[in-house]
Structure 1
Amino acid sequence: MGLISLIWGIVAMILMLFALIPFLGIANWLVIPFAAVGAIIAALGILFTSPGNRGRAKTGLVLNGIVIVVAIVRLNLGFGLI
């Protein structure tokens, strides 16, 4: 689950960078739920993995969290349209 969440976080980060382009900010409405699912997968990975093997899941959780925060800030700046 850790590897899945890490890959999910990388894909979410790429989608977020695409949504930072002016006039494509409406894509953030799709990026936030996508990253939220990745964060849930990462949390499950942390929960069900032994303490020594949680690095990928923690990294996936951080990546997805960063994407969610940046996307929400971007939506607030552009009112979800710009």
Structure 2
Amino acid sequence: MLNILSILVGVVVFLLALIGFIPLLGWLNWLIIPLALFGIVLGALSSHKSGRNLNIVLIVFCAVRLFLGGGLI
């Protein structure tokens, strides 16, 4: 059950990350990363690891976007 919740959090984070990829909305990634960390915690508490891995990939994706945009853009 926790893995399903982690995957749902990951899907929400992915949809928000797509919005954050639009120029001048990169600051949204600062709000997305803590949400993905919550998904990692849920995924770590479950017996399956797919939800945890999804959220780890999304955090890396958002962090790279922040790095390329200078943290704000």
| TM-score, scaled relative to structure 1 | 0.82
Choose between structure 1 and 2: higher helix proportion: 1
How well do the aligned residues superpose, as a CA RMSD in angstroms? 0.9
SS at match of 1:22: coil
Instruction: Give 5+ residue unaligned stretches, structure 2.
Output: none
1:62 corresponds to which of 50, 53, 73: 53
| TM-score, scaled relative to structure 2 | 0.92
CA shift, 1:62, in A, is: 1.5
State percent identity of aligned pairs: 44
Higher relative contact order (CA 8 A, sep 6+): 1
Paired residue type of 1:78? G
Instruction: Give 5+ residue unaligned stretches, structure 1.
Output: 47-53
Deviation per residue, 1:23-44 (Å, 9 max, x gap): 1000000011000010011001
Equivalent position of 1:23 in the other structure: 24
- Give the aligned length: 72
